[in-house]
């Protein structure tokens, strides 16, 4: 049976088995792992993941919003002890899912919802220990960038994850072929302390960074007042993208008195 991709869901089918194996290998699956697969589709990643985690005490949650694919996945993995197929919107399902312990995330993300998914991973009450994601190449480069080429999104993500750009992948590994190449990135959870371990403060930090990067090509003295600049003790001629992640964290703490 042929499945016609839905443009409204940004569907592109991975047709390269080598890339699928590489992504699963990069996730470093171990016995007992719980793994959430985002957009399981036709099972290109699920197949390799289920082989890597065949132990019954491992759990693979193959999530897809499209009922056509969940029914196919049920037929493919219905007899598996460790694959649970779930028809759901990942942006609604994962924040409500309560894991007993840690978990990992794997997925080839529809490009149009990459940013919402990345923000969701940060804001989860329990963040995944490791995520391996295939995303648009430009976005992969952006989130892995550091000063002097940082951005709002790279600073926000790198406060909570170690972001590594693993590999560029050709657009030709998908059918239909998207207009841009992709990138495989890994997000490894880092331990955070106060005030970044608080959900309310994370929201404030997000808004703070939006302000900080509101004029990314202008100097900090165009973003912060003279009084604020005296408090944060940063060179006012710096541009936002030149400020390291740790410095942004310190600036946030000083200006919001979050200690």
Range in 36-40, 213-217, 245-249, 250-254 the model is least confident about: 213-217
Instruction: Count the Cβ atoms, other than its own, within 10 Å of residue 74.
Output: 14
Q: What is the DSSP string of 12-54?
A: -EE--HHHHHHHHHHT---TT-EEEEE--TTSHHHHHHHHHT-
Domain 199-256 has CATH 1.10.8.100: yes
Q: Which CATH number fits domain 7-189: 3.40.640.10, 3.20.20.100, 1.20.58.110, 3.40.50.150?
A: 3.40.50.150
- Give ranges for CATH 1.10.8.100 in the chain: 199-256
Neighbour order of strands in the sheet with 83-87: 83-87, 59-64, 34-38, 104-108, 130-136, 182-189, 161-169
- Give ranges for CATH 3.40.50.150 in the chain: 7-189
Exposure class string for 88-114: b at 16+ Cβ within 10 A, else e:
eebeebbeebeeeeebbbbbbbbbebb
144 token code pair:
């892995």
Q: pTM of this prediction?
A: 0.91
Q: What is the DSSP string of 182-221?
A: EEEEEEEE----TTTTSHHHHHHHHHHHHHHTSSTTS-GG
229 token code pair:
């600049």
**Contact call for residues 186 and 158 (beta carbons, < 8 A):** no
User: pLDDT, tens digit, for every residue of 111-124?
Assistant: 888 999 999 999 99
User: pLDDT, tens digit, for every residue of 61-97?
Assistant: 999 988 888 888 888 887 787 899 999 999 999 999 9
């Amino acid at each position: 049976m042929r499945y016609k991709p839905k443009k409204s869901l940004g569907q592109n089918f991975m047709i390269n088995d080598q890339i699928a194996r590489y992504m699963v290998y990069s996730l470093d699956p171990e016995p007992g792992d719980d793994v959430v697969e985002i957009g399981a589709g036709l099972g290109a990643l699920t197949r390799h993941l289920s082989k890597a985690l065949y132990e019954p005490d491992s759990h693979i949650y193959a999530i897809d919003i499209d009922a056509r694919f969940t029914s196919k996945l049920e037929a493919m993995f219905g007899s598996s002890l460790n694959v649970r197929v779930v028809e759901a919107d990942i942006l609604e399902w994962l924040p409500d899912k309560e894991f007993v312990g840690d978990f990992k995330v794997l997925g080839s993300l529809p490009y149009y919802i990459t940013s919402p998914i990345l923000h969701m991973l940060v804001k989860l009450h329990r963040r995944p220990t490791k995520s391996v994601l295939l995303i648009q190449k430009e976005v992969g480069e952006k989130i892995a960038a550091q000063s002097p080429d940082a951005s709002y999104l790279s600073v926000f993500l790198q406060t909570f994850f170690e972001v590594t750009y693993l590999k560029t992948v050709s657009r030709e590994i998908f059918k239909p072929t998207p207009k841009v190449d992709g990138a495989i990135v890994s997000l490894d959870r880092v331990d955070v302390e106060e005030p970044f371990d608080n959900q309310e403060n994370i929201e404030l930090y997000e808004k703070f960074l939006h302000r900080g990067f509101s004029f990314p090509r202008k100097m900090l003295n165009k973003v912060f007042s003279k009084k604020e600049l005296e408090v944060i003790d940063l060179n006012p001629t710096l541009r936002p993208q030149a400020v390291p992640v740790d410095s942004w964290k310190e600036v946030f703490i000083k200006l919001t008195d979050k200690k």
